[in-house]
């Protein structure tokens, strides 16, 4: 095989990967998997928010900012937690982590994804 054919094959593969990447970004922006708005993540990485646009009664400002920075709207988080929802969260995250969050620790994206089903 000569060099021209090899370069042509590599170019086709690269173009295919670029198209696939663009399609994946568009699909993620439309579908919003796990309730996460992926279009907000680059902006949050470049200039993280210092204030929250919403004052959630169960979350402190740090928690709201963390959720907003990964594209989760704090308005989607329930304002009251039932005993059933809390028990589900304890099962999903463990009692220690639930106590930490209740004491003001910022929930991580993993915490949100693990316990999201408890609040739907």
Could you state, in order of their start, the residue ranges of all structural domains in the chain? 1-31, 36-119
Q: Name the more confident of 59 and 20.
A: 20
Residue 12 structure tokens: 């086709």
**pLDDT given at position 30:** 78
23-64 pLDDT tens trace: 888 887 777 776 676 776 666 666 666 666 677 777 777 778
CA distance 61 to 76: 15
Residue 98 has pLDDT above 70, yes or no: yes
More confident residue, 15 or 24: 15
Round to whole Å and give the CA distance between 120 and 67. Answer: 17
């Amino acid at each position: 095989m000569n060099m021209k054919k090899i370069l042509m094959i590599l170019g086709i593969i690269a173009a295919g990967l670029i198209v696939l990447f663009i399609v994946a970004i568009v699909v993620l922006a439309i579908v919003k998997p796990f309730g996460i708005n992926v279009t907000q993540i680059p902006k949050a990485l470049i200039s993280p928010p210092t204030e929250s646009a919403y004052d959630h009664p169960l979350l402190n400002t740090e928690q709201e900012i963390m959720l907003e920075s990964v594209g989760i709207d704090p308005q989607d988080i329930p304002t009251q937690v039932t005993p059933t929802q809390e028990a589900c969260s304890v099962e999903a995250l463990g009692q220690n982590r639930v106590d930490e969050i209740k004491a003001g620790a910022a929930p991580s994206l993993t915490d949100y994804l693990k316990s999201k089903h408890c609040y739907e």
